[in-house]
Chain A
């Protein structure tokens, strides 16, 4: 009977207690739920609906979270452990000077519409991403490319203006996926890629549906799922209700840690706390007094107990950081010890900088719960060293993007930065921190252009230490990935080295 199939998934008391009459009425009306769910369909919940489905033309990470690896693939891919793997390119060689990358492309790969994938398509994709009218969100990634050549169908030669140490990593990101010239313009609403799933439908405001691509090139890793639905539920209560009601099978990024603990106690669900690339930082306007004084910035950093902040703002989930890099990232060094929590020292440093009685400033906090809560905890901690924080709620994205990001009309703000390895933002002129450090720029450039791993690791470590010491922003913590899914689902990514919901290896256990 239809009802019976759902009993396994619901919690609490049983329908039978409400009396036979109701049950019969429900059955007559056909309200008792659908037939037993086939075990090759999965409904994945996401807090944010993507705007468009082409990660090569727009910035929101939710685009990649639906399409990357499921619909689109790259020359390389970043795996669940954050390591670079070959994908549409089966291998590559690098010239000794680090300037010429020669990729060998796979045979027998086709896009979902039948268009063959070859070196011409790869050249088109890279040239489109770096072209003059490109709105690619990672356009700077492609800027060092001098030329792209396709000497034959299976060979792609990328020549660089200067060495780029993490080129293959960058080519594994959502913004660098391969697209075909005949479908690229329509990808925004009807994505066509080479991945294991093809696009089926997008009911805007509600769901995106994908289905298994029968002619997928990688027979050895064909997906177990035949049908995948992404549903968009912003409200944590709605997310919890959808999981409990069995409407959604998996929520890889559950939004509310305080409800999450209930799921941890519930045997029907697997709960996995993973890492993300979401770095929460309190950016300061380095051009404004008193934040132009490094002693003040250091003092503020020392006034923040990052462990307590994680506890207060995010129920203890999350990893404190000392710089704009996460433990996922290649070359990570732990810099949380550079300016450890020490309110007494912070006060002394403030006095030294000429603020023995502290000062007052405004903190613009976007309305997302985790950001406004973090702002309140910061306010309390800074009050302990005599600094008064006035919190100004600032609607995200509209007001925040305008006032903080564009006009730089702010003292301090809180924001999560989602892009992996985006330490380069501190080297960008006119970025919203107004930070300009020749020392950091030198270290960053050395890391970005290194031609061997040892040199890169050394330089990127140096760059992290400089940020930890110069504190252009208060480095707070890396957001956790609070995954909840049916205990019968396996193969989900636990961490998120790249913002994605790669479903290639997901299956239902009997």
Chain B
């Protein structure tokens, strides 16, 4: 089991190393000189050269790549071209929005999907099951930014209950912060919960047909007790797998949803940095996104071991 974990961890490190090189190469062939973009239509040859030098753009690519890696190892993420502030601080500010948003979205989608999926499976063929399936169909079909727009239309412009976007900052109070994140979290959660509910339903149905469930029932457990004590825990492995996979969709969705709700999160930072060719910010943010996905996959693998003792013997 330890060997499995170690092998997975080494794989994680290797993946990140390959990714950083790939990200750097892609950034380097992007059209658009960051210095020229910054100077815009007032660019003159002398100021452009001075700015390129101060941005370190006159160095060869290998030197810039190594400088990036060494800096990262030291915890120095570089300075944003556009804002002129350290990238680390910029990312930290944005994580304070995106992490709570993602956690809220995961919490909402799990809270909606798990009960819905379990109940739909337990009463398969009933009206509840059909209702749940219809809900899932609709939510899967509708993209999250569109749900976001509809939520803004109803709860912000019509009812005036929620801000139409923006983020007051946690300094304005936890209530105000959560209020600003509620609609975007729902917009992110609904499509996720639809998929999760379907997976939960089929996983629970599969387990319901297993022999050990019949044994448990034969030993006198009620249907409900058997369901929650034996079926649901055994159905969790595929559910956790999907949750892990959904994490990368969550990040992609966050870019769109943060733009719809004008939230100063990591997704929006990536979007703006790309438009401005703020190379250091894009590199760091993309690597961070990639790193998060890789780490979450690693954690999912570890969670299998915790959830299913049968897997511990392997590797």
Residues on A facing B (Cβ under 8 Å): 6-7, 9-13, 15, 18, 26, 30-34, 49, 51-52, 58-60, 133, 135, 137-139, 188-189, 203-207, 231-233, 235, 237-238, 240-242, 244-247, 395, 397-399, 401-403, 405-406, 415, 417
Contact = CB atoms under 8 A, between A and B. Distances in A.
Nearest to B278: A51
Contacts, number: 160
Nearest to B272: A205
Given A59-B39, A139-B47, A205-B94, A11 B167 contact: no
Interface string B252-274: 00000001111111001100100
B161 A51 contact: no
Contacts of A399: 31-32
A241 B164 CA distance: 6
A33 to B, nearest CB: 7
B160 interface: yes
Given A207-B166, A247-B163, A401-B32, A51 B43 contact: no
B276 interface: yes
Interface in B228-282: 259-265, 268-269, 272, 275-277
A361 to B, nearest CB: 21
B157 A31 contact: no
A245 B163 contact: yes
B207 interface: no
Interface string B145-176: 00001001100111111111111010000011
Given A398-B31, A398-B275, A405-B36, A10 B262 contact: no
B93 interface: yes
B41 interface: yes
Given A12-B158, A235-B259, A139 B268 contact: no
A402 B159 CA distance: 46
Given A59-B39, A206-B167, A406-B33, 12 more contacts: A34-B176, A60-B40, A135-B47, A137-B40, A204-B85, A205-B265, A233-B166, A247-B164, A247-B165, A247-B166, A401-B41, A401-B43
Contacts of A15: 159-161
Interface residues of B, number: 56
Given A231-B166, A233-B262, A398-B32, A32 B158 contact: no
B163 to A, nearest CB: 5
Shortest 10 CB-CB distances between A and B: which pairs? Answer: A398-B32, A205-B264, A241-B164, A10-B160, A206-B264, A245-B164, A244-B157, A245-B156, A137-B42, A51-B82
Contact of B275 (A11, A30, A247, A397): A397
A138 B33 CA distance: 21
Contacts of A49: 272
Interface string B5-43: 000000000000000000000000011110011111111
A51 to B, nearest CB: 4
B50 A10 contact: no
B95 interface: no
26 contacts: A10-B160, A32-B161, A49-B272, A60-B40, A135-B50, A135-B51, A137-B42, A203-B264, A204-B90, A238-B164, A241-B157, A242-B165, A245-B164, A247-B166, A395-B275, A398-B31, A398-B276, A399-B32, A401-B33, A401-B36, A401-B43, A402-B31, A402-B36, A405-B41, A406-B43, A417-B41
